[in-house]
Amino acid sequence: MHRPSFLHLAALLGLAALSDAAKGPLVLKAPGCNPMDSKQYPCPLLNGIDNPSTLKSDFTAAKEIASPGWHLENDEEAPVRYSQSWVEGAVFTIGKRGDKPTIETDEYIWYGRVDVDMKVAVGQGIVSAVTIISDTKDEISWVTVGSDSHIARSNYVGKGNTATGERDKIHTVSFPGAQPAFHRYSIDWRHDRINWEINNQVMRTLMFEDTVTKNEFPQTPSKVRIGMWTLDDPDHQTRSAVELASGQTTYTTDGGMPWNMYVRRVEIVNYNASRHYNFTGRSRSADEVATYPHLNESQSEHYNEHINPPNDTKPTGPSKEDEIEAFHREHAGHSPDQEIREGLLIPPGYAPKSAATLLSGLSLEGHVFCLVAFSCLMWAL
């Protein structure tokens, strides 16, 4: 399984502004099928956090490493365990060079709130992070570097583009205890704005209209990752990495190894909950995301195995595209062209079609039906 290299982390932390060595659109690897890639699109259905639309994880009460709703993102070498007293919850440990203990949600959210009660790691160049990340390389994150106990960094990336905008912000943390204590790191992600919070205090707000372009705002179904790693791995060292980390990480007990990050509880609320999501086009925006709230298991298996099988057996051509489009029309819970109901989060850029536009697509029989229906309604009133 892919591991985030230093250059991936350089983009995540906004190091492009610090050194030419770290410039470029380099981000963490997306968790699944990227619809913007013609070799991957169309994509399988995405499972959503739904019924209930909230995932609550109490790692102080957990008895297994694979807590319900989560999996180890790098399971063959992930040092994640539970504290012997259970009070501190899940323990993420870097005990040797190359350790990157990370957990990831099994299912997706489409806009939502993430609250993580966490004690971040303290050590030279040791990174602790909470990240919301999509298959289209949208990212929203809280990041700390353990060499400075009073600094936290908020960051976002849209479609893997790190070249424009003020994505990375540095925040001075002034509350008692700073990093060595437990604090609540939160991201509140809505269709029109993102809040980064610490201990329920808003540290930063990004409005949709403040991004450089519409597609720069994170807006596609995403998973949640929580993990840690070393920023200045000597195998991927650049001058800017050492400067940010305030020196090189020393992988010895004298240097502080092992380093631990602790997570007690996580609560994730899916604001646009659905059993499944899918991309109705090679999506760069929420306009081409549809929900499928009522698909049963046999219907989803039929889509993923027969209508849209894996890439190595995926048929192509107009007939297959028509079959996929027919499935969307029959089962999609909503799309930008459908009625916006109370409580639905309206995707950015949504523009409802006018009555004239809708009528223009009807046949003669359709026009007659609409006229009769309207006349009956007026008579009833």
Residue type, 369: F
**Residue 241 DSSP label:** H
Mean pLDDT for 234-243 is 45
The reported pLDDT for the residue numbered 175 is 66
What is the pLDDT, as a whole number, of residue 165? 60
Q: Compute CA distances 248 → 148, 232, 251, 256, 302, whole Å.
A: 14, 6, 9, 12, 52
Q: Is the pLDDT of residue 214 over 80?
A: yes
Nearest to 161 by CA among 209, 110, 206, 215: 215
| pLDDT confidence of residue 331 | 87
Dihedral sign (CA 226, 232, 233, 236): positive
CA distance 150 to 72: 29
Which whole number is the average pLDDT over 1-7?
Answer: 36
Distant-in-sequence, close-in-space partners of 221: CB < 8 Å, separation ≥ 6 = 46, 48, 108, 109, 110, 134, 135, 277, 289
Each residue's pLDDT tens digit, 21-76: 233 223 456 567 888 787 787 788 999 999 899 999 999 886 665 578 998 876 55
Q: Which of 57-66, 183-192, 320-329, 371-380 has the lowest mean pLDDT?
A: 371-380
What share of the chain in percent tops pLDDT 90?
Answer: 35
pLDDT at 154: 95
Distance CA 295, CA 53 (A): 16
Three-state DSSP state, 230: strand
pLDDT at 194: 98
Beta-carbon neighbour count of residue 12 at 10 Å? 26
Cα 295 to Cα 112: distance, rounded to the nearest angstrom? 22
* Greater pLDDT, 132 or 230: 132
Q: Does residue 265 or residue 76 have the better pLDDT?
A: 265
Given a cut of 80, whether residue 15 has pLDDT beyond it is: no
Q: Residue length, the chain?
A: 381
Sheet with 289-292, side-by-side order of all strands: 46-47, 276-279, 289-292
Q: Where are the domains of the chain?
A: 6-270, 351-381
Strand-pairing partners, residue 14, are: none
**Is residue 339 scored above 50 in pLDDT?**
no
For residues 207 and 194, what is the distance between their CA atoms, to the nearest angstrom?
A: 7
Which residue from 81, 140, 143, 153 is spatially nearest to 113, judged by alpha carbons? 140
pLDDT at residue 334 in the model: 57
Do 208 and 192 touch, CB atoms closer than 8 A? Answer: yes
At 342 the pLDDT is 34
The CA-CA-CA angle for residues 47, 342, 214, to 5°, reads 65
| DSSP β-ladder status, 222-230 and 151-157 | unpaired
- pLDDT per residue over 70-107, tens digit each? 988 765 555 688 766 668 899 999 999 888 899 999 99
CATH number for 6-270: choose from 2.30.30.60, 1.10.3720.10, 2.60.120.200, 2.40.50.100: 2.60.120.200
Mean pLDDT of the chain: 75
Sign of the Cα torsion 215, 342, 222, 314 reads negative
Phi and psi at 73, nearest 5°, equal -65, -30
pTM across the whole model: 0.77
Quote the pLDDT of residue 121: 92
Q: How confident is the model at residue 344 (pLDDT cuts 50, 70, 90)?
A: very low
Q: Which of 1-15, 203-217, 303-317 tops mean pLDDT? A: 203-217
What is the radius of gyration, based on Cα positions, of the chain? 23
Kindly state the average pLDDT of the residues 149-164.
Answer: 84
Residue type, 254: D
Query: What is the pLDDT at residue 322?
Result: 80
Number of helical H runs and strand E runs in the chain: 6, 18
- Give all strands (DSSP E) within the chain, no chain letters: 46-47, 54-58, 70-72, 80-82, 90-94, 102-105, 112-119, 126-134, 139-145, 151-157, 169-172, 183-189, 193-198, 201-207, 222-230, 259-270, 276-279, 289-292
**Chain Cα centroid distance, residue 63:** 26
The predicted model gives 203-232 an average pLDDT of: 91
